[in-house]
Structure formats: C-alpha cells, structure tokens
Amino acid sequence: MSRRRVAAANWKMNKSFAEAELFVERLLEDIDPDKTEGVHIVLTPPYIHLQNLVEMLTLNEGIAVAAQNCHHEAQGAYTGEVSASMLKSIDVDAVLVGHSERRQYFGENDMIVSKKIHRALENDLMPVYCCGETLEQRESGAHLGTVTHQIEAALTGLSAQQMQQLVIAYEPVWAIGTGKTATVEQAGEMHQHIRSVLERLFGKESAESTSILYGGSVKASNAAELFAHPHIDGGLVGGASLDPEEFLAIVYALGHKRF
Ligand code: 13P
C-alpha cells in the first residue's frame, strides 16, 4: 500500500520575517521537481509568518504550510492563543500537535493533545501528531509502552476516515536537537510498533495507509539511510530545516524512496 511521503520543516522559534521570505525564495529557485516527485513538502514557520508563506506558495501545490500549534478550544478568552479555525481562515494546511517541546515547556498533557487533534480535524487541517519517549524511558526499556500509551490517549475514538487525514511523527525526545539520531533499527522498530498499535485500534487498512515520519536530528547526511526503511515514510526536521539547501537535500533523499 502506498503512503504519503512527507518532508516537514519545523522551524520552531527561529527566523525573522526577512529570513523566512529568503528561505522560500531560495527553495523555489533551487527546487528540482524531478527529485521531489510524490513528496509532500511542509513548511512550519512561527505563527506570524504563516500568512506570508501561504501567499508565497499559493502556486506550489506540492508545498504545504503548517502551524506549530493551535489552541484546544474553538474560540474564546485565551489571550495570546490561536485557534484551528483561524489557521484554516488563512488557508493553512496542517498543524503540529503534541510536540514534545509543547509537552515539556507548556504543560500539554494527553487530554489537551487529544482535544487539539479534534479541533484540527473539525477544521480540515492535517494534524501531525508527535509522540516519542524520553531517554530515561528508553534506557529503562519503557519506550514501546510509553508510545503505545501516547497513541492510545491521543487517537482512540477517531474514525478510520479521520485517520486518513492524520500523519504521525515519532520523535524520540533524546534525539531532538542533540545531534544524536536514532539508529535505523531503533526508529524502524518503533515505526513498526506504532503501526501494530494502529492496526489494533483502526484495522489493517488504516494502519497500512497512515504515514509515520521520523524526527530527531535528521540531516542531509543521515536522511537517505533512515528513509530507506520501509516503515519510515518521511521526516520532521528541526535544525537542519533552517537552511534551504540542507532541507532540499533531505527532501531529495525522500524523493528517491519508492514504495
Ligand atoms: P531537530 O531536527 O533539531 O533534532 O528537531 C526535531 C524536531 O523536534 C522536529 O519537530
């Protein structure tokens, strides 16, 4: 079964307006469409650059724009927050949900993450649901159980149809921003495990068609090896996505992958 291949850039809290614009200009100038066939490229800038990126990319159907977060309520007195419907109103395509930095620094728990997924789906945004274990959990052998629990808490109750709209990103916390990438064996084992949990929750067809991305110190130098694994359908890239050349090299590595 063929799955969406996704190369997503998560800029986190980086780039001025001018830097964001320059990135997109260089990306569009340099991109080689032959090497990106079938790859869904997603750019995830800070909120304030979203509308500008949507406008700059309006003619490029293969490049989507995602937000890094949305609020879990539909609207109301939540100073400083942005709702899923507001994102949709400026034609944003997708939203990251449950990133470990949101869980760690902003106290997001499984219940909030689950509500955000529903808000995103209600507004026809593609949720990129992030999960992953800490170093302590991996070292104590609790990594598979931790991720099982995260997936069950966030996704139970969704329909198979809603699952078609959703992408999962496995991001081991110990690999994020550390330069310490999971090995292909470690990532592959977890991706297969996630797929088995999805099969139990939603059935084989849904599990086989859900894209599972790997995130955590993905770079141009290790992308091809990771993407060669049959269960790794793409990457969610932080630091290495800030440079258009480096990010394009990662996109091309995914472009080489054929199912
Ligand atoms: P790095 O690629 O910088 O490790 O970040 C990964 C990440 O958190 C993407 O969401």
Residue 1 scores a pLDDT above 70: no
**258 pLDDT above the threshold of 80:** no
Q: Which atom of ligand 1 is the closest one to the Cα of 240?
A: 2
**DSSP per residue, 154-209:** HHTT--HHHHHT-EEEE--GGGTTSS-PPPHHHHHHHHHHHHHHHHHHH-HHHHHH
pLDDT, position 234: 98
pLDDT at 257: 77
Pocket of ligand 1 contains residue 44 by CB under 6 Å = no
Query: Residue 175 Cα, ligand 1 centroid: separation in angstroms?
Result: 8
* Whole-number Cα distances in Å, 11 to 96, 97, 155: 12, 15, 25
Does residue 90 register a pLDDT over 60?
Answer: yes
**C-beta of 236 in contact with ligand 1 (< 6 A):** yes
| C-beta of 113 in contact with ligand 1 (< 6 A) | no
Strands (E), the chain: 5-10, 39-44, 63-67, 94-97, 126-131, 167-170, 212-215, 234-237
Percent of the chain with pLDDT over 90: 95
Span 103-118, mean pLDDT? 96
Mean pLDDT confidence for 14-34: 97
Residues with catalytic roles: 99, 171
Ligand 1 within 6 A of 39 CB?
no
Taking CA atoms only, the protein residue closest to ligand 1 atom 1 is 238
Best mutation site among 101, 173, 213, 237 for ligand 1 pocket (most ligand atoms within 8 Å of CB)? 237
All domains of the chain in start order, with CATH: 5-255 (3.20.20.70)
Cα separation, 39 vs 244, in Å, equals 16
